């Protein structure tokens, strides 16, 4: 098991990092670092002898957070921001279908299974809607699940 990053490397988190209960002074589930943020590897350790954990110092937030290797990429690597991430609840902005058959009505709730940042048409997602096959959906066809289901102008998240 060899680390993919070294002490001092600048890295970027590819998904939101929340407190799993191991970050002192913050409640479990609290957002610690937003996806796309960059920091520097401060230390490298292991968890249960089979996972490499990096202590990453996020200077902008003045936080040192433990991250698994799959949560990181080199800061210099290409990065395509996305509005949603895996496991987020979303709603369809418009009816969705395959070959002219509507499978999902506008406003129906689903869950993002995977983010496709390198999709040729722009960011897309594999979204699972209850009792239906997983669909590949462009970002423009989704809204946050807490957003009203009527289509309207998109609002950038802060």
The CA-to-CA distance between both ends of the chain, in Å, stands at 37
- Which phi-psi region, left, alpha or beta, contains residue 131 (left: φ > 0; alpha: ψ -120 to 50)? left
**What integer pLDDT is reported at residue 2 of this predicted model?**
85
* 80-124 pLDDT, tens digit each: 888 888 888 999 999 998 898 999 999 999 999 988 887 888 899
Using CA atoms, how far apart are residues 92 and 108, in angstroms rounded to an integer? 6
**What integer pLDDT is reported at residue 29 of this predicted model?**
87
Q: Which of 58, 53, 55 is nearest to 35 (CA)?
A: 58
The 10 Å Cβ neighbour count of residue 112 is: 20
**What integer pLDDT is reported at residue 134 of this predicted model?**
92
Q: Determine if the pTM surpasses 0.85.
A: no
* 29-45 pLDDT, tens digit each: 888 998 899 999 999 98
* CA 92, chain centre distance (Å): 18
Q: What domains are there in the chain, each with its CATH number?
A: 10-74 (2.30.30), 89-144 (2.30.30)
């Amino acid at each position: 098991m060899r680390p993919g990053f070294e002490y001092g490397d600048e890295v970027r988190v590819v998904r939101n990092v929340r407190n799993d209960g191991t970050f002192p002074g913050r409640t479990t589930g609290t957002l610690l670092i937003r996806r796309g943020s960059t920091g520097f590897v401060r230390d490298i350790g292991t968890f249960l002898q089979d996972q490499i954990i990096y202590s990453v110092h996020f200077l902008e937030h003045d936080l040192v957070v433990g991250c698994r290797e799959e949560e990181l990429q080199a800061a210099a690597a290409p990065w395509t921001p996305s509005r949603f991430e895996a496991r987020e609840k979303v709603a369809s902005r418009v009816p969705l279908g395959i070959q002219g058959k509507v499978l999902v009505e506008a406003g129906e709730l689903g869950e993002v299974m995977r983010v496709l940042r390198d999709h040729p048409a722009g960011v897309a997602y594999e979204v699972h809607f209850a009792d239906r096959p997983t669909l590949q959906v462009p970002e423009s066809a989704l809204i946050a699940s807490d957003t009203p289901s009527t289509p309207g102008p998109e609002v950038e998240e802060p």
